[in-house]
A and B are shown apart, each in its own frame.
Chain A
Amino acid sequence: MSSDVHTHDPAHDHRHGHAHPPHAEAPERLSYYQVMEIAVRELLIAKSVFAAEDVRRAVEAMDARDPAQGARVVARAWTDPAFRARLLADGTAAVRELGYEMATFRLLVVENTAKLHNLIVCTLCSCYPRMLLGLPPDWYKSRAYRSRAVREPRAVLKEFGTVLGDDVELRVHDSTADMRYLVLPERPAGTEGWSEERLAALVGRDCMIGVTRCHV
């Protein structure tokens, strides 16, 4: 059709801040790449590479993965020292105990302490423990984060409100290959005797990437 389907507004595929009325008159025009997605999917279904049902199921499985899974792992490690030891020794096997599969990747769990803070980045693309935390936030994939997290990580942490003392070693992990990383945050003070469920509710996604600490 016309050539304007190739023009692209980079912001346009981000979800709008407003709700569409239930009966919007004209649905938004699909972008060139949205059309490409439909074409590839329909052609592959027509060639029986997979079925429409497989796509639907894969999307559902993706929706089911979210940071609450990682939070459950962290809370278990905080309350069960034997599990914590297994998690640090072999993350892939330990999370399997809770029903989480890492697919072809291996999970490496790095533990924050009073003297060591871990931060995860993927400078080359956007490697992320998606089997455990779901899809990564946009900022994790941004040029600013990928460029600066290795060279000025303390400045990046400050932007997330995390200030580390000079007596704390900051260790950045550049996720370049076959490992996937999960930060085991420090258990906040004042949570003694809390149940695993109550602890898990404290653990947000960002502290498992290492840009924040976990707070009560």
Chain B
Amino acid sequence: MRQHHDMGGLPAGPVARQEHDYALWEKRVDALMMLLSQRQLLRVDELRRNIEALAPDAYDTMSYYERWISAITQTLLQRGVLTSDELGRAMAEIEAREAGR
């Protein structure tokens, strides 16, 4: 079965010459990938596999670095570097902290 990310040759509209300056959080996601990869805690092909595992509609609507952080997190869960519980608690704390700012 052709996978959703494997799109070479499919019909599509004109190339929108869109660009944006990457935001700090996007650069940090990129930095996480590089640092984890240097420490052998993540391989680029694991990252890609986890991006490819996204549902087609998520793949299309998430931004590039949203796909990346989602896939980095999946890899760290699969490898046992992080657990869902610690991530869930940390994310709730961060939201509370940010809401109080």
Contacts and interface: CB of A to CB of B under 8 A. Distances in A.
Interface of A: 1, 5, 8, 10, 13-15, 27, 29-31, 33-44, 47, 49-50, 54-55, 58-59, 62-63, 121, 123-126, 135, 137-139, 141-148, 150-151, 156, 159-160, 174
A59 to B, nearest CB: 5
B23 A146 contact: no
A142 B16 contact: yes
B27 A62 contact: yes
B87 A43 contact: yes
Question: Taking chain B's interface residues, is the majority helix, strand, or loop, or is none over half, making it mixed?
Answer: helix
Interface residues of B, number: 60
Nearest to A30: B98
A41 B60 CA distance: 25
Among A35, A62, A139, the one with the most B-chain Cβ atoms within 10 Å of its Cβ is: A35
19 contacts: A1-B92, A14-B20, A31-B66, A34-B25, A35-B91, A35-B98, A38-B25, A41-B32, A43-B87, A47-B81, A55-B35, A59-B30, A123-B6, A142-B18, A143-B60, A144-B12, A144-B14, A144-B15, A144-B16
Question: Taking chain A's interface residues, is the majority helix, strand, or loop, or is none over half, making it mixed?
Answer: helix
B15 A41 contact: no
Interface string B79-101: 00110001100111011101101
B12 A148 contact: yes
A40 B69 contact: yes
Given A37-B69, A124-B5, A141 B64 contact: yes
B19 A138 contact: yes
Contacts of A142: 15-16, 18
B72 A40 contact: yes
B39 to A, nearest CB: 6
Contact of A159 (B11, B15, B25, B86): B15
Interface string B56-81: 00001111111001101100100001
